[in-house]
Amino acid sequence: LRQRVIRAEKMEVVGHLAASISHEIRNPLTVSRGFMQLLAQSKDTSEKNKQYIQIAIEELDRAEAIITDYLTFAKPAPEREEKLNVKTEIERVIDVLRPLANMSSVEIQTTLVPFAIKGERQKFQQCLLNVMKNAIEAMPNGGTLYVNVSIEKDYVSIHIADTGVGMTKEQIERLGEPYFTTKGAKGTGLGMMVVYRIIETMNGIISVHSEVDKGTDVYIYLPSFYADQMDKAIIQNKRALII
Ligand code: ADP
Ligand code: MG
């Protein structure tokens, strides 16, 4: 019993310390970046060394961007599939993105309904974050991010739209290709790859429509939790009939 108690306590410590993996990795990156900047500003630093420091800072920023696209909501414990409320999850992601939206004068308009789907919470949040972050980044001079939830047959539909720079047909076709980015050093080209992979594991569908200088519409369809339950009931009944 004693051993078990100690183990339980240890688990709790892990839970508190590493509330989020991204937070734990970001902290040392931020500290290192801060000291690099101090060095870069110091009059004792030669021009040559300033160039090296600049490269180091850019690489730290790249690591930070990759963590954002992969691990924003990641926690040390393994994930389980559970019943998720799309409204709650979308609101959580919007909370995280609001500072970024404010920086670019992007207004956020939502029509959210608390439909249920099945999935791993962190992965679903990461998927929403990557799509909404792209939408905000497509509006550097302001605009509106729309997020609407509705139900279509057995699918919960999440419509994410922006009034940003839009994409050409060629760009839409390359979406999800690893390292495809039009954002230069600031982009990872990994965000949409992660999105496509997560939607696939959730048995969902994604469809993207875009027009250059008008904006982009992303539709994500995920099987409704209840449709899924109903399918199972039907399959089980059929089996019963066959037997
Ligand atoms: P990153 O954002 O790091 O560039 P992503 O995989 O998230 O990588 O996106 C790949 C590319 O797809 C972006 O660089 C951009 O050109 C394009 N893109 C994605 N979403 C949008 C959007 N909402 N509006 C305009 N372009 C977009
Ligand atoms: Mg992105």
The pTM of the full predicted model, rounded to 2 decimals, is 0.88
Percent of the chain whose pLDDT exceeds 90? 80
User: What was the pLDDT predicted at 17?
Assistant: 55
Segment 111-140 mean pLDDT:
97
User: What was the pLDDT predicted at 229?
Assistant: 66
Percent of the chain whose pLDDT exceeds 70? 87
User: What was the pLDDT predicted at 124?
Assistant: 98
Strands (DSSP E) along the chain, which ranges? 81-85, 106-111, 116-120, 143-152, 155-162, 205-211, 215-223
Which secondary structure element, helix H or strand E, spans residue 68, and what is its range? helix 47-71
Q: Greater confidence, 243 or 18? A: 18
Q: Give the tens place of pLDDT for each residue, 24-70.
A: 999 999 999 999 999 999 999 999 999 999 999 999 999 999 999 99
Q: Is 196 near ligand 1, meaning CB less than 6 Å away?
A: no
Contact 190, 70 (CB under 8 A): yes
Among the bound ligands, name the one nearest to the CA of residue 210: 1
Q: Is 175 near ligand 1, meaning CB less than 6 Å away?
A: yes
0.95 surpassed by complex ipTM: yes
Among the bound ligands, name the one nearest to the CA of residue 182: 1
Q: Greater confidence, 86 or 13? A: 86
Between the CA of 52 and the centroid of ligand 2 the distance, in Å, is: 27
Q: Is 135 near ligand 1, meaning CB less than 6 Å away?
A: yes
Nearest CA to ligand 1 atom 8: 189
User: What was the pLDDT predicted at 20?
Assistant: 86
Contact 66, 29 (CB under 8 A): no
Q: What atom of ligand 1 comes closest to residue 218's alpha carbon?
A: 23
Query: What is the tally of helices (H) and strands (E) in the chain?
Result: 8, 7
User: What was the pLDDT predicted at 126?
Assistant: 98
User: What was the pLDDT predicted at 13?
Assistant: 59
User: What was the pLDDT predicted at 227?
Assistant: 76
Between the CA of 153 and the centroid of ligand 2 the distance, in Å, is: 30
- Two structure tokens written together for 205: 């569908």
Identity of the highest mean pLDDT range in 1-5, 12-16, 186-190: 186-190
pLDDT higher than 70, residue 232: no
Contact 193, 176 (CB under 8 A): yes
Among the bound ligands, name the one nearest to the CA of residue 218: 1
Contact 219, 153 (CB under 8 A): no
Q: What angle, 0 to 180 degrees and rounded to 10, lies between the N-to-C axes of helices 86-103 and 121-137?
A: 30
